[in-house]
Amino acid sequence: MGTENRTNLEIAEPLLVESDDNNIREIPPWKDQITIRGLLVSALLGTLFCVITHKLNLTVGIIPSLNVAAGLLGFFFVKSWTSFCSKLGFEVTPFTRQENTVIQTCVVACYGLAFSGGFGSYMIAMDEKTYKLIGTDYPGNRIEDVKNPALGWMIGFMFVVSFLGLFSLVPLRKVCIYLNVCSMSIFILKDKSYVVY
């Protein structure tokens, strides 16, 4: 197999560095976390990821999780933006973790809505032109199922799709956790601590 060389290695630096009060950064207020540069990068990356999502949805039918890519590209764009502006002599506010989180959340919401909104699957198959192309006498192809795209109902549909999880989360939490349907139960005590069984 081979011989093992065991040497005595000493750790020159401590593994856990004691934190000084000077190194602790305060979390900025929410108004400082949502910046113009963050929104511009979010819009740019959201558009790019929507195109990628539509391409994958139309060719493959599924999309991978692009959260890490959104976070890394958001970090890259804003970090390069701030370094470029500082080299030009402009005073730039530093890039924060919270700003990167806002960018990643916006991009994930954009491409998630592009996928779950049905733009690459059922939405394009609901119009009258597709109904006629398939054939009016084809089994299962009914005139009642035709819904031509219009901006009004599509905006309402997108709101329902995007907020469905939020609206269903609270009732499901009450049913699953408080009524002991989950495999584990979480009981929140009066002192805001919790016990898991």
3-state SS class at 23: coil
Q: Is position 8 within any domain?
A: no
- Indicate the burial class of 15 (C-beta count within 10 angstroms; 0-12, 13-18, 19 or more): exposed
Q: Which of 73, 74, 80 is nearest to 98 (CA)?
A: 74
> Which residues touch 47 (CB under 8 Å, ≥6 apart)?
110
Per-residue pLDDT of the chain (197 residues; tens, 9 = 90+): 555 555 555 656 655 555 555 556 677 787 878 888 889 999 999 999 999 999 998 898 888 889 899 989 999 988 898 889 889 988 888 888 888 888 999 999 999 888 888 888 888 788 899 889 988 889 888 888 898 888 999 888 888 888 887 777 777 776 666 555 555 555 555 555 555 55
Q: Is position 189 within any domain?
A: no
Q: Is position 178 within any domain?
A: no
Q: Is position 75 within any domain?
A: yes
* Residue 163, beta-bridge partner list: none
Neighbour-count burial for 124-161, b at 16+ CB within 10 Å, e otherwise: eeeeeeebeeeeeeeeeeeeeeebeeeeeeeeeebeee
Distance CA 190, CA 187 (A): 10
Q: Is position 38 within any domain?
A: yes
Domain count, the chain: 1
Q: Is position 4 within any domain?
A: no
Residue 164 confidence (pLDDT): 80
Q: Which of 106, 103, 113, 101 is nearest to 50 (CA)?
A: 113
Q: Is position 174 within any domain?
A: no
Q: Which domain holds residue 92?
A: 30-169
Q: Is position 45 within any domain?
A: yes
Residue 156 near residue 147 (C-beta atoms within 8 A):
no
Distance CA 20, CA 27 (A): 17
